[in-house]
Amino acid sequence: MENQASTQESLYEKHIPIFPRSVKGKFRTFKWGILAMAYLVYFALPWLPWDRSDAPHQAVLFDMVGRRFFIFDLALYPQDIIVLSMLLFIAAVTLFFVTTLVGRAFCGYFCFQTLWTDFYIWIEHLVQGERPARTRLYKQGWNLEKVWKYGLTHALWLLASWWTAMTFVLYFGYAPDLLVKFFNGHMVTAGYTAVFFLTLSTYLAAGVLREQVCIYMCPYARFQGVMYESETLVVTYETKRGESDKGRHPAVQGARTREERQAQGYGDCIDCGMCVQVCPVGIDIRNGLQYKCISCGLCIDACNTIMDSMKFPRGLVRYDSEINAKSDNPQKPKLDLLRLRTIGYGTFILIMTGIMIYNLATRTSFEESVQQIRQPLFVTLSDGEIRNRYQVRVTNKTDHEETYVVAVKGIPDGALDFGGSSNEMNVRAGKSLMIQVNVKLPPQVAATTDTIEFIITPKGKPDEAAVRKVRFNSKHEG
């Protein structure tokens, strides 16, 4: 039994820590640029003031208590869920579109996991040094240097995680107040719980687990492969050029210049391993396209630097399509937009974006409904007048209190009865109000009236008046 157990293979691959080497180049610069912009937006937005009359003065605010979202001048309520759903749908299809064009570029440049992991690796590099120093520190036994450097790295990671979590929570209330409440112990329990779990998850995902999140935990990594086509631009090693007849070979005496190498049957790859050392997921792109590759382009930067130093043409590792990279005479890589799948995704995105913009542009500042109370359908009063009753409901979708005037078109004076109250409804921002009204018509008018039109107008804004046509009953329905 013992022998049998010892020959069984583990189902889990042993985790080998990755210490990526830093690299310079256009893709690295692009990644830093996106990171700076993303951080600026994420961390600064809760502090951006915005004038509001009936809500905290914050540009982006998710007011859970008031059940409304503010995004600058746009106030969204639960009834606007369609807009949010469309936004999510467009984002998902855009992701598919980008993947079909340039593989996992979203993962390599825009994903939160990548953005935060990049920053955490930068902290690690800052405290512990370049890749060789970090590898040495990892392998050496525990001493004062290791305790101090590991301690400082993890403390800075925790600090960054806490601020990330805190910022997320600041979107759900007035940021200056919430921050003070966090420190003086007056924040709600849900707030403290959110900060705790988000701090922990950010620290684990970006600091401890890093590439393992992309490889084992991200669902997108599992199915993005089906969107690849042979025209998709992916990070590719040009095997023919790199290996030639006799394979890759170090740039040793007699095999340094391109001419020398070609004469001996060696390819352009000098087997320096830089493309592997900079890779944040620890793979060797020379082994071909792998699902772990997040298309970050750092190996391209690394290899181009080596090619420059060797005075070889750049692009041994590059974004290219499988079809072009494997052809006998590869052309300059280009984005191939005119494919069935990209046209399909693109058309979908355009249509959905158009519908969403139309929805937002024609969105009214309030919602109204008028319903006839059908029990009883009508009442004949002692003076012969016919009375119908209605429920009028108004939802104020602005960020301030509004007054709505209720009227009915073309009926005699005094026919509209509010039961002693006024014909105006004061509705607080984001709230709904319902009133009951009576419409009483003389019998001869009632006999010729099948429908009436309620007009609900925000006070002082006649252009925004809404009209609701409803039935008026004076006979029992057969």
**Under the rule (CB under 6 A), what is the footprint of ligand SF4?**
235, 237, 242, 269-275, 278-281, 283, 285-286, 293-299, 302-303, 306, 316-317
- The nearest distance, CB 304 to ligand SF4, in angstroms, is 8
Q: Which is nearer to ligand SF4, 63 or 243 (CB)?
A: 243
Q: How far is the CB of 294 from ligand SF4 (least distance, A)?
A: 5
Angle between helices 144-170 and 189-202 (to 10 degrees): 130
Rounded to a whole number of angstroms, the minimum distance from the CB of residue 300 to ligand SF4 is 7
Query: Strand, coil or helix: what is 42?
Result: helix
Nearer to ligand SF4, 316 or 394 (CB): 316
For the bound state, the minimum distance from the C-beta of residue 311 to ligand SF4, rounded and expressed in Å, comes to: 13
* Cβ proximity to ligand SF4, 195 vs 299, nearer residue: 299
Closest alpha carbon to 191 in 199, 202, 46 = 199
What are the Cα distances from residue 19, in Å, to 159, 191, 437, 468?
21, 35, 73, 67
Query: In angstroms, how far is CA 468 from the centroid of its own chain?
Result: 38
* H-run or E-run covering 427: strand 424-427
CA–CA dist 216, 212 (Å, integer): 6
DSSP 20: P
Min dist CB 209 to ligand SF4, Å, is: 16
Point out which residues pair with 403 in neighbouring strands.
Answer: 426
Nearest CB to ligand SF4, comparing residues 191 and 297: 297
* Distance from C-alpha of 175 to C-alpha of 75, rounded to nearest angstrom: 18
Q: Give the closest residue to 93 by CA, choosing from 344, 349, 368, 351.
A: 349
CA distance readout (Å), 57 to 71, 74, 229:
11, 13, 48
Separation CA 100–CA 39 (nearest Å): 27
Least distance to ligand SF4, CB of residue 296, Å = 4
**Rounded to the nearest whole angstrom, what is the least distance from the CB of residue 258 to ligand SF4 in the complex?**
12
Nearer to ligand SF4, 114 or 161 (CB): 114
* Closest-CA residue to 381 (of 474, 297, 450): 474
Instruction: Give the distance, in angstroms, between the CA of residue 325 and the centroid of all CA atoms in the same chain.
Output: 33
82: exposed, middle or buried (C-beta count within 10 Å: 0-12, 13-18, 19+)?
exposed
By beta-carbon proximity to ligand SF4, the closer residue of 109 and 472 is 109
Q: In terms of residues, how long is the chain?
A: 478
Find the shortest distance in angstroms from Cβ 216 to ligand SF4. 15
- Residue 99 burial (CB < 10 Å; 0-12/13-18/19+)? buried
Tell me whether residue 314 or residue 475 sits nearer to ligand SF4 (CB atom). 314
Closer residue to ligand SF4, CB minimum distance, 177 or 271: 271
Which of 210, 440 has the CB closer to ligand SF4? 210
CB 242 within 8 A of CB 268: yes
Q: How far is the CB of 307 from ligand SF4 (least distance, A)?
A: 7
Q: At 409, list the tokens.
A: 């078109």
Q: How far is the CB of 97 from ligand SF4 (least distance, A)?
A: 20
Which residue, 426, 437, 472, 438, is CA-closest to 453? Answer: 472
One-character DSSP codes across 179-199: HHHHHHT-S-HHHHHHHHHHH
Q: Shortest approach of ligand SF4 to residue 172 CB, angstroms?
A: 35
Please name the helix (run of DSSP H) or strand (run of DSSP E) that holds residue 368, with its range, or none: strand 366-373
229 vs 271, which CB is nearer to ligand SF4? 271
Of 283 and 392, nearer to ligand SF4 (C-beta) is 283
Closer residue to ligand SF4, CB minimum distance, 160 or 298: 298
Nearest approach, Cβ of residue 290 and ligand SF4 (Å): 7
